[in-house]
Amino acid sequence: MVDSAHLSLHVPEPAVRPGGQPDFSNVKIAKAGSVPRPEVDVASEDIRDLAYSIIRVLNRDGEAVGPWAGSLSDEELLTGLRNMMKLRAFDARMLMAQRQGKTSFYMQHLGEEAVSCAFRKALNKGDMNFPTYRQAGLLIADDYPMVEMMNQIYSNESDPLHGRQLPIMYSSKEHGFFTISGNLATQYVQAVGWAMASAIKNDSRIAAAWIGDGSTAESDFHSALVFASTYKAPVILNIVNNQWAISTFQGIARGGSGTFAARGLGFGIPALRVDGNDYLAVHAVARWAAERARRNLGPTLIEHVTYRVGAHSTSDDPSAYRPKTESEAWPLGDPVLRLKKHLIVKGVWSEERHVQAEAEIMDEVIEAQRQAEAHGTLHAGGRPSVRDIFEGVYAEMPAHIRRQRQKAGY
């Protein structure tokens, strides 16, 4: 007979809390260049290891090494660096604008710039992203005008969404950016549906789904994997593991599973982990997955391993739940600095040009901000009309809403 001792509940806890010494020595990081690059038609059971390792291209010396290197030209890498710097400068200005009361809310990308910026470059025009709130790099890297992004953030008279959406919840069909929902994970399964539709219509366009590590706990994530796997949908299923979901460390959603990527294995979906702070690695893996989708080989799941350096949002105070120095201890470095170093090592960039580019980019962002603010901010200047509240609920305004609009005086 088994001795039935007293049970006790296991509640996972992060290794350190504020005041403690950050320690990532338990995070196993594969050497750059060490993970093999299989053919895109590989069977998922033959690459199970890739769900546990980390694909990396840039080594400590700033060199691009291994089988995943070489997917980008110097020109493309310089553009990538510029896009990441732009996103960082954009964040800095908008964070400040929020602090100045020009908008209600903001969410920054600090430390995660490579993920969305590099990924966008593996997609084609017409492909569709179903993003969450930390992928503005998809728009920046597709040259969506920053002024429009700011108009949205300010909810001003030129806001393309007429002040209806929370700041940063952009939408642009033209730029392959599906309207963001504040309800986590709902869009993961919608991306699969979009991809299935593309397959039903024998189209060539593919979809990309986005989710955070914490949100993988939602049922919609699991529904998405079931449908993607069953119908071999042409979709790339991205998980951005930035270690934290507001105050909750990634172990709370991951539980006993080795990695988030490993969740794909039970569904027979090829699953890869990539160094999310390595622009070259993210791009190479995204391109691999996109090729699979385009060749009708079905879905790929990618876990981007990164770190959320900034606060969760402007309503959050990370010093209340993690050591202040934790981001510095993060072993995968800073995506901007790593690509910068690589380009310097290659001889196509320099410290001077970097400083100069930083200044140019900041000027560009400030100029965009000036233009946007000329159209108003949340509490001052031009604003969307109250009439806009009532428009667009339905294609055609029903009588009861028209009566309410009149009652409101518009």
Ligand X SMILES: Cc1ncc(C[n+]2csc(CCOP(=O)(O)OP(=O)(O)O)c2C)c(N)n1
Residue numbers at the binding site for another protein (CB under 8 A):
8-9, 11, 13, 17, 104-105, 155, 159, 162-167, 169, 181-185, 214-215, 217-220, 245-248, 252-253, 255, 315-316, 320-321, 378, 383-384, 386, 388-390, 393, 400-401, 404-405, 408
Structure tokens at 268: 């027979």
Do the beta carbons of residue 286 and residue 315 sit within 8 Å? Answer: no
Choosing among ligand X, another protein, none, which partner's interface includes residue 378 (Cβ < 5 to 8 Å by kind)?
another protein
Judge whether 215 and 185 are in contact, CB under 8 Å.
yes
Residue 231: name its binding partner from another protein, ligand X, none (Cβ under 5 to 8 Å by kind).
none
Q: Quick one: DSSP state of residue 374?
A: T
Number of chain residues interacting with ligand X (CB under 6 A):
15
| Residue number closest to ligand X, CB atom | 212
- CA nearest to 243, candidates 304, 169, 315, 168: 304
Of 157, 163, 231, nearest in space to 196 by CA: 231
Q: How far is the CB of 233 from another protein (least distance, A)?
A: 22
Q: Shortest approach of another protein to residue 304 CB, angstroms?
A: 18
Min CB(119)–ligand X separation in Å: 15
Helix axes 186-200, 219-231, angle to 10 degrees: 20
Q: Which of residues 345-404 bind ligand X (CB under 6 A)?
A: none
CA dist., res. 170 & res. 166, Å (int): 9
Nearer to ligand X, 90 or 244 (CB): 244
Partner in contact with 167, chosen from another protein, ligand X, none, beta carbon below 5 to 8 Å by kind? another protein
Contacts for 98 with CB less than 8 Å, ≥ 6 apart: 104, 105, 106, 167, 314
Return the SS3 of 337: helix
Question: Rounded to the nearest whole angstrom, what is the least distance from the CB of residue 12 to another protein in the complex?
Answer: 9
Which amino acid is located at 218 in the chain? E
- Stretch of 12-20, 239-247, 264-272, 274-282 contacting ligand X, by CB under 6 A: 239-247
Give the three-state DSSP class for 281: helix
Task: Find the shortest distance in angstroms from Cβ 13 to another protein.
Answer: 7
Residue 181 partner contact from ligand X, another protein, none using kind-dependent CB cut-offs of 5 to 8 Å = another protein
Q: Which is nearer to another protein, 182 or 331 (CB)?
A: 182
Report the b/e string of 36-70 with b at 16+ CB within 10 A: ebeebebebeebeebbebbbbbbbeebbbbbebbe
Is 130 a binder of ligand X (CB under 6 A)? no
Angstrom distance (rounded) from CA 115 to CA 95: 20
State the Cα–Cα distance between residues 351 and 344, nearest whole angstrom.
8
Is 214 a binding residue for ligand X by CB under 6 A? The answer is yes
Nearer to ligand X, 40 or 95 (CB): 95
List the beta bridge partners of residue 210. 238
244 binds ligand X (CB under 6 A): yes
222 vs 346, beta carbon nearer another protein: 222
Pick the closer one to ligand X by CB: 66 or 335. Answer: 335
**Does 308 engage in binding with ligand X (CB under 6 A)?**
yes
How many residues appear in the chain?
410
The interface with ligand X within residues 163-202 (CB under 6 A) comprises 182-184
Closest CB to ligand X among residues 215, 300: 215
Task: Decide: is 204 part of the binding site for ligand X (CB under 6 A).
Answer: no
Judging by beta carbons within 10 Å of its beta carbon (0-12, 13-18, 19+), is residue 231 exposed, middle or buried? Answer: middle
Amino acid making up residue 79 = T
Helix (H) / strand (E) containing 241: strand 235-241
From the CB of 116, what's the least distance to another protein, in Å? Answer: 21
Give the interface with ligand X as residue ranges (CB under 6 A).
Answer: 134, 182-184, 212-215, 240, 242, 244-246, 308, 312
